[in-house]
Structure 1
Amino acid sequence: MPETLSLDDVHALSKAALIGAGTAEPAAEIVAQSITDAEAEGIRNVGLAYLPIYCRHVSIGKVVGDAVPVVKRTGPSALMADAGHGFCHPAFTAGEEAFYALARENGIAGFGIRHSYASGVIGWFSDRMARAGLIGLTFTNASAALAPFGGKKPLFGTNPIAFGVPRRDGPPLVIDQSSTATARINIALKAQAGEPIPEGWGLDADGNPCTDPNTVLGEGSMAPSGGYKGAAMALLVEIMAGGLTGAKWSFEASSLGGDEGGPPDIGQFYLAIDPARFGGEGMADRIETLFSAMLEQDGVRLPGNRRHENRAKAESEGVDVPDDLLATLRGYAEGGQG
């Protein structure tokens, strides 16, 4: 039977599991918050379900659990952080305050992270920027999973992009989508369950549609979102996250899903824009005019609204967590293997 946990319980368990696996307390605190936020928003696949991978990768050294990020200002509106092969979340928060200050001072600012690890829900970062009153863009590359359009060999990661916009009242609008038809973890979970994947999620080694998750994760590749458009977006993200930061390209990175290889050494890039410096003080009202026009049409909902609804429910009712997942995480929390 699943056990119901409050969000405070989710955070405490996540933090304890990360520390038990070898993560330093400051990093465990902020990564646990990202896991808790994912659970609250109903994104289990990169919430508690992904936490065992985080813990395992810390325990075997694919993530340096006690890394101390170093942030440097590299220009009037530019920051760079070296994550030291640790999690990107503490690297981001280490430079977050300075990043926002530069955006407000100059109207726009960029923040890159190199020598980093997976981001989880990248909308989490754009949401934070938007809650600070800034328009926020987030880019991250990942280990190779997607072939360039017309090719057959994985070269790009799932390479998601997220966009956050502050609102006059209530939580921000957040768009978070991968360059692939689905997240890699969804295919991995299907493989673990011995279930086929929907057609359109993956391709075999010859570039043909494939519903066998093991083939897609092995000699095949993931399918791009929207055909050539998704592959083009993956290239854009690759240049922003891997190129601008000096991190490894996705095809050079070790697997984020498997245990082989050392740290993946990928990158993230964040862009923050002060809307008032471009659209003026009336920008917030103009944004609401646009959203209102959208919502006048039956069946339309703003991107990210379902996550906000899930959070309200989770805050009052908690979340149900399967026994086997709880046992794994409690095993790490007790200082053993999950």
Structure 2
Amino acid sequence: MTDTVQLSLPEVHELAVRVLRHNGMSDAHAQAIARVIAAGQRDECHSHGVYRLLVTTHTLRQGKVSGTAEPIVRDRSPAIVAVDARFAFSQLAFEVGSKVLAAKARQTGLAAMAINNCYHFSALWPEVEALADQGLAAMALTPSHAWVAPAGGSRPALGTNPLAFAWPRAGHPPYVFDFATSAAARGDIELHRRSGQPIPIGWGVDASGAPTTDPEAVIQGGAMLTFGGHKGSALSTMIELMAGPLIGDLTSLDSIALDAGKGGTPCHGELILAFDPDRFGLGDLQGDQDRAERLFSSITQQGARLPSQRRFEARARSIAHGVQLSRALYSDVLALLR
């Protein structure tokens, strides 16, 4: 018996739907979340792929999240749409609200969508990439749980607070970046803990504030660290404000207090901005796109990679050959069906 299990992408999606529906989720929510989980596994974003079924199911079983609540869309203004996720996961709320967001962006040039009262567990690139596929530039930002110490501190006050951006490209995958403002994603530290591997120095500190390579020490009583010292800390704080109080939702401190030690998925808001390049420009959309492509070429021609290039290469492999899961993770996921 090998240590891995080979699955096709449809099999990953079907497995995710089965697990989520078995644990009380409606088909609409299960399908939306399964699409994101399958996409993460397809692109070899392992901490945001099938592994996330363990996290979402745990949160469902704790009774912290609704598996059936239908999102409510509210038209706030010509350029703002708000979606109340009603304390369900955010994926269905995004799918429903993004149709309105895209239409508003084409009408006004710049539009914003606030998703409130949502549980968000995934990467942000699926959201911005979906908008880029419609010819829009996009940004997304969200807080999380307060797991991260600010620069100069040793106690958690900030979330991992990811930021994502996408730029549409004709004939190419979009230019996409998506990164946590913490030195590493929480899921990456969890995966190191599960596999018994040390983490690099700089990812976190222990309960005394000392640097550590022990993922358990970071998770149990310690704190994660921001990337780039005070720069990452300031950017993380900006995300707390823009995706929290600005849209009438929780900060990462509020989210972890609401969780009350259950270890569930963070509950908060998400802010997505969509830009129509045709509306912003001076009428020469092709010329603007050509200038963007010259910029990308100036990067790649000197041997540098564009963000997400490895992810798109992994996508092509997975579409052709399927994906591999560790047998231990696969067994843990199958146990969720019992």
| TM-score normalized with structure 1 length | 0.94
Cα distance in structure 2, aligned partners of 1:13 and 1:163: 30
**TM-fit CA distance, 1:251:** 0.8
Cα distance in structure 2, aligned partners of 1:128 and 1:222: 30
Name the amino acid aligned to 2:297: S
1:289 aligns with 2:294: yes
Contact 2:176 2:307 in 1 (8 A): yes
Name the amino acid aligned to 2:12: V
Counting only pairs closer than 5 Å after superposition, residues 48-127 of structure 1 correspond to structure 2 as 48-127=50-129
**TM-fit CA distance, 1:290:** 0.9
Change (3 A) 1:91 1:73: same
1:331 alignment counterpart:
335
Q: 1:216 is paired with a residue of what secondary structure?
A: helix
1:315 alignment counterpart:
319
Cα distance in structure 2, aligned partners of 1:257 and 1:291: 43
Aligned residue pairs total 333
Name the amino acid aligned to 1:235: T
Q: Deviations over 1:298-335 (max 9, x none)?
A: x2111111111100000010011122222232233x3x
Contact 1:205 1:219 in 2 (8 A): yes
**TM-fit CA distance, 1:278:** 1.5
Contact 1:136 1:165 in 2 (8 A): yes
**TM-fit CA distance, 1:262:** 7.5
Name the amino acid aligned to 1:285: D
Q: 2:86 is paired with a residue of what secondary structure?
A: coil
**TM-fit CA distance, 1:195:** 2.9
Change (3 A) 1:160 1:110: same
Cα distance in structure 2, aligned partners of 1:200 and 1:3: 33
**TM-fit CA distance, 1:259:** 6.2
Q: Deviations over 1:87-137 (max 9, x none)?
A: 101011111111100000000000011111124111111111111110010
Cα distance in structure 2, aligned partners of 1:319 and 1:57: 26
Cα distance in structure 1, aligned partners of 2:324 and 2:310: 18
1:38 alignment counterpart:
40
Contact 2:55 2:264 in 1 (8 A): no
Q: Deviations over 1:256-310 (max 9, x none)?
A: 999617874311000000011113413222211111111221x211111111110
**TM-fit CA distance, 1:233:** 1.0
2:305 alignment counterpart:
301
Contact 1:61 1:262 in 2 (8 A): no
Which has the higher mean CA deviation after the structures are superposed, 8-17 or 216-225?
A: 216-225
1:180 alignment counterpart:
182
1:209 aligns with 2:214: no
Name the amino acid aligned to 1:272: A
Q: 1:290 is paired with a residue of what secondary structure?
A: helix
1:243 alignment counterpart:
245
Change (3 A) 1:264 1:137: same
Name the amino acid aligned to 1:120: S
Change (3 A) 1:16 1:259: farther
Change (3 A) 1:121 1:140: same
Identity of aligned residues (%): 37
2:149 alignment counterpart:
147
Which has the higher mean CA deviation after the structures are superposed, 280-289 or 25-34?
A: 280-289
Contact 2:55 2:265 in 1 (8 A): no
Cα distance in structure 2, aligned partners of 1:255 and 1:317: 43
Contact 2:76 2:82 in 1 (8 A): yes
Q: 1:57 is paired with a residue of what secondary structure?
A: helix
Name the amino acid aligned to 1:9: E
1:20 alignment counterpart:
22
Cα distance in structure 2, aligned partners of 1:128 and 1:258: 34
Cα distance in structure 2, aligned partners of 1:331 and 1:258: 26
Counting only pairs closer than 5 Å after superposition, residues 263-278 of structure 1 correspond to structure 2 as 264-278=266-280
Change (3 A) 1:55 1:259: farther
Cα distance in structure 2, aligned partners of 1:326 and 1:259: 27
**C-alpha root-mean-square deviation of aligned residues, in Å?**
1.8
Name the amino acid aligned to 2:325: V
Name the amino acid aligned to 1:303: P
Structure 1 unaligned regions, length at least 5: none
| TM-score normalized with structure 2 length | 0.94
Cα distance in structure 1, aligned partners of 2:15 and 2:48: 15
Q: 2:116 is paired with a residue of what secondary structure?
A: strand
Change (3 A) 1:197 1:257: farther
Structure 2 unaligned regions, length at least 5: none
Contact 1:122 1:138 in 2 (8 A): yes
Which has the higher mean CA deviation after the structures are superposed, 107-116 or 250-259?
A: 250-259
